[in-house]
Amino acid sequence: MVGPHGPEAKRAHWEGGARVVEFYMLYPPPIPERWSYPTDDGSLVVPGIICHVCGETWGMPNGEVVRGELKSPALVERLRDPQPLPLPEQQALVRAVTAELAASLGLTPCLAVGTRIGPLRVALSGLRVPDFSTSLFTPVVRDRVISLLRESGATGFEAHAVEITRVRREPKKRPYDLPRLFEMDVRGRVALAPEAKAFYDQPRPCPGCERKGNLRLPKGMLVDETTWDGSDLFKIEGEPWVLMAPRIATLLIETKLTGFRLMPAREFVNT
């Protein structure tokens, strides 16, 4: 979504006497029929929970990734099952996985619900894959996107090869090459703005799972710019959405890459 508020427009404004940078959010567009998109094909993900107090079942991808490799076949098998677990059982599984991955946790010291472990495995519906697609809130991109970002000196991300397990609609009459896909692992982080953090710090309704119920981030992805280290690509702590500096937004648009939209982060409403 780029228009009068996009990167071509004014990229910073003054608010309350302070200069505010206009950050942009990478947002997946509706899937056009002419494109094929990768879907997860058996990646290892920390399961969701069934709360023993409120009885709710919940869990979703959170965008965090741990690159360490699990050696225990039993743990690998348990993580391949996406079904939520009773809270005590889920916590015991997380403790076992944490113990084995302790040296690899890095920026993810706590394995939350939805954290992915190890490489991303995807199946393709076909070979016509756009420059940007998403899987588990992580951008999956063609090799030319990584080259473009590296050539521009973009910071705040790492690139990891994606394993393509199969192509559902393979060409039958000619040999073909698989597209080179990479996971754009965004490592830059910033904190929520104080007014948004105060919203999140409201009392949580369930003492068992501490689920936040219907609480949502108020209008806009509000960034505490004092915590921004200048990374071109980053995420707000605890949120899966990918944000970027204005120069990267302009670069992506001017290069006419496919498979993405941009919107000013301050205009995004998390519902």
With beta carbons less than 8 A apart as the criterion, state whether 139 and 106 touch.
no
3-class SS of residue 124: strand
What DSSP state is assigned to residue 254? Answer: H
Give Cβ neighbours of residue 239 (< 8 Å, ≥ 6 apart): 63, 217, 221
R_g of the chain computed on alpha carbons: 20
What does the pLDDT average to over 263-269?
77
Q: For residue 8, is pLDDT > 50?
A: no
- For a pLDDT cut of 70, what percent of the chain falls above it? 77
- The phi and psi torsions of 57 (rounded to 5 degrees) equal -110, 125
Strands 57-58 and 49-50: antiparallel
pLDDT tens, position by position, 116-128: 888 888 899 888 8
Enter the pTM of the model. Answer: 0.77
> What pLDDT is recorded for position 74?
92
Q: For residue 223, is pLDDT > 50?
A: yes
Give Cβ neighbours of residue 182 (< 8 Å, ≥ 6 apart): 140, 141, 142, 143, 145, 146, 159, 160, 161, 162
Q: For residue 270, is pLDDT > 90?
A: no
What does the pLDDT average to over 45-60?
85
Q: Which residue has the higher pLDDT, 99 or 32?
A: 99
Residue type at position 30: P
Range 142-150, long-range pairs (CB < 8 A, 24+ positions):
142/179, 142/180, 142/181, 142/182, 143/179, 143/180, 143/181, 143/182, 145/182, 145/184, 145/257, 146/182, 146/184, 148/251, 148/255, 148/257, 149/184, 149/233, 149/248
pLDDT tens, position by position, 140-184: 999 999 999 999 999 999 999 999 998 887 777 777 888 999 999
The C-alpha atoms of residue 123 and residue 182 are separated, in whole angstroms, by: 14
Counting runs of H as helices and runs of E as strands, what totals does the chain give?
5, 20
The C-alpha atoms of residue 153 and residue 191 are separated, in whole angstroms, by: 24
Name the band, by pLDDT with cuts 50, 70 and 90, for residue 218: low
